[in-house]
């Protein structure tokens, strides 16, 4: 079991999870596929040893599923709950029909501009670092694919969605773009990743479960690098 899913808790970075797995196993070569922000939880695919970290991209290149909570009526500098918020004055609260039409318009191949506070590198420096230095940056839109979006609930200002995507989609950016199209503003208030390719939340282990199973040797990890 050298590639497996961890249920990442809110508050930890993806690198924090990797560090914890290294500490539990005593193995330095650990990697993750598909970063989750600290405020997000859910499926984070982990690989152990050089052989399997080199193959990781092949295991996580399938569809990803998310449960996303969007807060309308605000703009956030980071497109999520961590940023500075600015309330948007709106003329009319969008009704359910308008919200559904807007949400469905993002299904398919779309051009999405990543959040400025992202790990995308500009001249070798992550965009979020340049933003923290108060530099002016411009990220170019990228073509990504969104397979499906379902509205789970909507009571203004809260919109909850189930989103199925291909690689490279920023759910923060989707929340921002939905808010812009509704003329309300919007940011990602909560996110849970429920599936990455064949790895599901039901099969994912908490870090505590992984540590317990590893210590009891009920998880076999090939430590040969």
User: Which residues are marked as active site?
Assistant: 37
Half-sphere exposure of 196 (CA within 13 A, CB side): 29
- The DSSP string of 146-178 is EEEEEEEEEETTEEEEEEEE-TT--HHHHHHHH
* 111 vs 97: CA distance, rounded Å: 24
Q: At what angle do helices 96-104 and 171-181 cross, to 10 degrees?
A: 130
Torsion angles phi and psi, residue 180, rounded to 5: -65, -40
Two structure tokens written together for 108: 């398919």
* 147 vs 1: CA distance, rounded Å: 30
């Amino acid at each position: 079991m050298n590639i497996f899913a961890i249920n990442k808790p809110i508050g930890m970075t993806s690198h924090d999870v990797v560090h914890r797995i290294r500490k539990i196993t005593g193995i330095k070569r650990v990697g993750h596929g598909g970063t989750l922000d600290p405020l997000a939880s859910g499926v984070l695919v982990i690989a152990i040893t050089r052989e399997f970290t080199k193959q990781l991209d092949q295991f996580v290149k399938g569809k990803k599923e998310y449960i996303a909570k969007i807060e309308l009526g605000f703009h956030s500098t980071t497109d999520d709950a961590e940023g500075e918020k600015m309330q948007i004055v709106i003329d009319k609260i969008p009704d359910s029909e308008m919200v559904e039409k807007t949400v469905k318009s993002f299904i398919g191949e779309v051009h999405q501009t990543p959040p400025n506070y992202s790990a995308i590198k500009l001249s070798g420096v992550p965009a979020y670092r340049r933003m923290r230095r108060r530099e002016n940056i411009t990220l170019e839109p990228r073509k990504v694919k969104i397979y499906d979006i379902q509205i789970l609930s909507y009571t203004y200002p809260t919109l909850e969605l189930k989103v199925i995507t291909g690689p490279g989609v920023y759910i923060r950016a989707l929340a921002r773009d939905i808010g812009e199209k509704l003329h309300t503003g919007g940011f990602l208030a909560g996110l849970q990743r429920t599936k990455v390719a064949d790895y599901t939340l039901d099969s994912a282990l908490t870090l505590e479960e992984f540590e317990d199973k590893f210590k009891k040797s009920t998880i076999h990890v090939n430590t040969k690098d």
